[in-house]
């Protein structure tokens, strides 16, 4: 979970904002669901995708991602994760359970690429299943750490940082990444080129079709503004994969654990001590879809 401070929102100038049509179907026809001035969460009347409009220009958002402060609570940018490393225990539990699901579906072997690997906790847990590991990460500090703990080949930058010859992956995984992507179809097609014939991608993202959004509405914790620019449900994520030429689409259970202190902070309750890091499982927070390249 990440957090945007009020200071960060207030500091945003309109000159760094842009109006966009639907990121998937390109329709300009939309309805407003929620307002977080100067941003709005809207729903496409054509394909029902929910997205941010206006949004921060991608070049300005990239500057925040590349800063080391993005993964800590020590920065002043307003876009940082809340002490990412304090979530390590919960993340590792989450990834172990997810990898067990992948093994059940017989897709936890061969060559693995993770986009946006952060500090490498997933890659480190995955090294017992895959013969080769690679990852990308925008933050130099996070990428260096990921390389150290996982032994994976880590490339600093976005997908374009990968050498052209680095392909033939059995599985490409993105976890909490697609909601940050400004051009999702282009992104998915770029991933597709890196897969071997019959290879799979798995996309895991916060689920706006979940009961949590239905209950919390504009207080839904995955409205990470302005970092998250698209909000997916199982149906809209499936539609994106179909549009980009994937088939054999199936859901993969993605059970997520969070530190107790992080959960209570979202409720306005703050306390200190080791109990803050105690992992708590929250059901139905994520949707994860696996799809096979044609």
> Shortest CA distance to 65 belongs to which of 221, 198, 56?
56
| CA separation for the pair 238, 186 (Å, rounded) | 15
- Other C-beta atoms lying within 10 Å of the C-beta of residue 208: 26
Per DSSP, the three-state class of 43 is: strand
Q: Half-sphere exposure of residue 132, counting CA atoms within 13 Å on the CB side?
A: 12
- Range in 6-15, 56-65, 120-129, 168-177 the model is least confident about: 6-15
Chain Cα centroid distance, residue 194: 19
- Whether residue 50 is predicted with pLDDT greater than 60 in this model: the reply is yes
Most confident of the ranges 12-21, 29-38, 267-276 = 29-38
DSSP state of 22: -
- Here the tokens at position 260 are 């107790």
> Shortest CA distance to 77 belongs to which of 9, 129, 137, 133?
9
Residue ranges of the domains in the chain? 83-293
CATH classification code of 83-293? 3.40.50.150
- Whether residue 73 is predicted with pLDDT greater than 80 in this model: the reply is no
Instruction: Report the predicted TM-score, pTM, of the whole model to 2 decimal places.
Output: 0.88
CB 107 within 8 A of CB 80: no
pLDDT for the residue 79: 40
- Whether residue 119 is predicted with pLDDT greater than 80 in this model: the reply is yes
- Here the tokens at position 53 are 């409009």
Over the stretch 76-113, which tens digit does the pLDDT of each residue have?
334 444 456 788 999 999 999 999 999 999 999 999 99
Number of helices (H), then strands (E), in the chain: 9, 15
pLDDT for the residue 62: 83
Between 15 and 204, name the one with better pLDDT.
Answer: 204
């Amino acid at each position: 979970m990440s957090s945007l401070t009020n200071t960060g929102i207030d500091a945003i100038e309109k000159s760094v904002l842009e109006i966009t049509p639907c990121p998937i179907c390109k329709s300009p026809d939309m309805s407003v669901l929620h307002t977080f001035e100067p941003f709005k969460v809207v729903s496409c009347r054509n394909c029902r995708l929910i997205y941010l409009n206006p949004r921060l220009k991608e070049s300005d958002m990239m500057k925040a991602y590349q800063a080391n402060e993005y993964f800590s609570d020590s920065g002043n940018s307003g876009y940082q994760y809340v002490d990412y490393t304090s979530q390590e225990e919960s993340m590792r539990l989450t990834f172990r359970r997810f990898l067990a699901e992948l093994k059940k579906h017989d897709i936890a072997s061969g060559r693995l690429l993770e986009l946006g690997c952060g500090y490498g906790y997933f890659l480190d847990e995955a090294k017992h299943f895959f013969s080769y590991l690679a990852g990308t990460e925008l933050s130099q500090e996070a990428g260096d750490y990921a390389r150290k703990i996982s032994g994976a080949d880590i490339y600093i930058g976005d997908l374009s940082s990968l050498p052209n010859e680095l392909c033939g992956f059995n599985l490409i995984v993105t976890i909490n990444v697609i909601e940050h992507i400004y051009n999702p179809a282009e992104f998915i097609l770029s991933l597709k080129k890196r897969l071997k014939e019959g290879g799979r991608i798995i996309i895991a993202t916060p689920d706006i079709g979940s009961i949590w959004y239905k209950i919390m509405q504009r207080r839904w914790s995955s409205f990470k503004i302005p970092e998250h620019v698209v909000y997916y449900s199982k149906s809209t994520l499936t539609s994106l994969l179909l549009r980009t030429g994937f088939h054999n689409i199936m859901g993969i259970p993605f059970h997520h654990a969070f530190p107790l202190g992080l959960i209570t902070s979202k409720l306005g309750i703050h306390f200190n001590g080791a109990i803050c890091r105690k992992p708590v499982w929250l059901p139905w927070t994520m949707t994860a879809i696996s799809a096979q390249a044609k």
